[in-house]
Chains A and B, each alone.
Chain A
Amino acid sequence: MNISKSEAPAVPIVVNRKIVSWYEASARQRVRLMLDAGSFHEFIGPEQREESPHLQVFDLPTQFDDGIITGRGRIAGAPVFVAAQEGRFMGGAFGEVHGAKLTGLLRAARDTKSVPVLILFDTGGVRLQEANAGELAIAEIMRALIEARMAGVKIVGLIGGRAGCYGGGGLIAGCCSALAVSEQGRISVSGPEVIETNRGVEEFDSRDRALVWRTMGGKHRRLLGGAEAFVDDTVESFRNIALHLIDAVSGFGPDVLKAEQACLEQRLQRFGLCADAVDIWKAEGVADTEAVPAMAAADFNDLANKAREPRYDAR
């Protein structure tokens, strides 16, 4: 069958962000659908071919953007910088170029002293094949992030991809002004397999998915206070929460750090002896803890807001 081009429908394909799954979308789709239509301008795009110089040594394929998309755009009309990791390329892991692109973006934001940054995390941590460069990149990113916050830039982390946010990614997330996470998102430093390998299956059974999700998943992070917001797994939800958090989070200075330190001390005091995430939920006043994992986002947010009001002055 031969359909000539003039017969092809001229109607543009409209993608409804309300129903597009964040988890299923690629990093490029997330950026394109979250920002105002047509507003995204990429920095160091794939056509510049800034690929990893290390992977070829291991006879591994490279990706033109090294697994991270950086650029600027607009969200509800306001300018914003964006970085999005592609969790399917090497687990979204940080390598030398990948890390340098995020460092550069954060430094650009610092120089503006105002334009907020959205980091769409989707990472297993540092890329093992370029471990030293990757670890250095994590340190550089954290420094650049804190410098940007000190200059007055708000940095919001969005977590809901298949790779979660682990290793150095978890450290960087901890430095952000605020975090939003979905059911599918997980935030931690050591991943389930890493803990099991180092401490044994009695300590952590990485194949127990319920355990993994209730220890590192979005709902637990929200109840514990590690993430400011819990959202549905849609691009629209992440866009809305990003707008809200950019508006809601406070500035940065010594008093914020002191408040964060006090928060962490209090957390350790209250939950230090808890053996399981469920014990923490109970201590937070959640009556029916068994219902939490299956709860829809709206119901869960009602419950979480009762247990712990989201606070935006400290994490």
Chain B
Amino acid sequence: METLSYRHKAQERAAGSKSLAIIGVVASGNLEVLVERVLPDTECRIDINTAAEGFGAVWEAVVADFVERRSPGGLKLSINDGGARPDTVALRLAQAVRLIEEDDQ
């Protein structure tokens, strides 16, 4: 297992008022993303626990791209990864932010 952690400055605060969302399942080629609204509005933090070791550079690129596209200010994202491909990771990160931005039912 390998743990990675990234901190970014986000352009703006993520929309919505939900404090918590979770998406995905830890399985082969899949991952779960837990997103919590616990940080100051312009900060973003991503903690990763991954089964696939030695892909730090790829994670760094995917995470930087995600922060630039979604501006997830105020969010802490925690990831349990079962060896997902970068496109799956990008998809789950986007889903997680969309989920926390949605209004409650």
Q: Please provide the chain A residues from 63 to 112 with a CB less than 8 Å away from any CB of chain B in the complex.
A: 63-65, 86, 88-89
Contacting residue for A63 out of B26, B103, B105, CB 8 A: B26
Interface positions of A from 234 to 269, Cβ below 8 Å from B: none
Tell whether, in the assembled complex, residue B80 and residue A86 are in contact, meaning their CB atoms are under 8 Å apart: no
Report the minimal beta-carbon distance from B65 to chain A, rounded to whole angstroms: 16
- Which of A5, A47, A88 is the one whose CB lies under 8 Å from B25? A88
A47: B residues at CB distance < 8 A? 20, 34, 36
Residue B42 interfacial (CB < 8 Å): no
Task: Answer whether residue A310 sits at the interface, using C-beta atoms and an 8 A cutoff.
Answer: no
Majority DSSP secondary structure for residues of A touching B: loop
A61–B51 touching, CB < 8 Å? yes
CB A25 to nearest CB in B, in angstroms, measures: 11
Tell me, rounded to whole Å, the shortest Cβ–Cβ distance linking A74 to chain B.
13
Q: Are B34 and A89 in contact (CB under 8 A)?
A: no
Q: A56 near B20 (CB under 8 angstroms)?
A: no
Please pick, from B15, B36, B80, B105, the residue contacting A61 in the complex, using a CB distance under 8 A. Answer: B80
**Contacts A38-B105, A89-B27 given: A61-B78 contact, CB under 8 Å?**
no
Question: What residues of A have a CB within 8 angstroms of the CB of B103 in the complex?
Answer: 12
Residues facing A in B28-65 (CB within 8 A) are 30, 32, 34, 36, 49-51
Please pick, from A37, A38, A46, A56, the residue contacting B22 in the complex, using a CB distance under 8 A: A46
- Our count of residue pairs bridging A and B at CB distance below 8 angstroms stands at 48
Q: Would you list which residues of chain A between 193 and 240 have a CB under 8 Å from chain B?
A: none
Give the contacting residue for A45; candidates B20, B32, B104, B105; CB below 8 A: B20
Within A12-37, which residues are at the interface with B (CB < 8 Å)? 12, 26, 28, 37
A273 at interface, CB cutoff 8 A: no
Q: Does B86 contact A (CB under 8 A)?
A: no
Query: Is there a chain B Cβ closer than 8 Å to A291's Cβ?
Result: no
A28–B26 touching, CB < 8 Å? no
Q: Min CB distance, B91 to chain A, in Å?
A: 15
* B80 A62 Cβ-Cβ under 8 A: yes
- Which chain B positions have C-beta within 8 A of A61? 1, 26, 49-51, 80-82
Indicate if A59 sits at the interface (CB-CB under 8 A): yes
Once bound together, how far apart are the Cα atoms of A12 and B25, in whole Å?
A: 24
Closest to B101 in A: A5
| Cβ-defined contact, A88 with B30, below 8 A | yes
Q: What 1/0 mask marks residues of chain B from 75 to 102 whose CB sits below 8 Å from any chain A CB?
A: 0001011100000000000000000000
A59 to nearest B CB, angstroms? Answer: 5
Q: Are B34 and A5 in contact (CB under 8 A)?
A: no
Is A275 close to B, CB under 8 A?
no
Known: A60-B1, A89-B27. 12 other contacts (CB 8 A): A5-B15, A12-B105, A59-B1, A60-B51, A62-B49, A62-B80, A63-B26, A63-B80, A64-B22, A86-B25, A88-B25, A89-B25
B-to-A contact residues, CB < 8 Å: 1, 15, 20, 22, 25-27, 30, 32, 34, 36, 49-51, 78, 80-82, 103-105
Q: Can you list 30 A-B contacts with CB-CB less than 8 angstroms, sorted by A residue number?
A: A5-B15, A12-B103, A12-B105, A26-B25, A37-B105, A38-B105, A45-B20, A46-B22, A46-B32, A46-B34, A47-B20, A47-B34, A47-B36, A59-B1, A59-B51, A61-B1, A61-B26, A61-B50, A61-B80, A61-B82, A62-B26, A62-B80, A63-B26, A64-B22, A64-B34, A65-B22, A86-B25, A88-B27, A88-B30, A89-B26
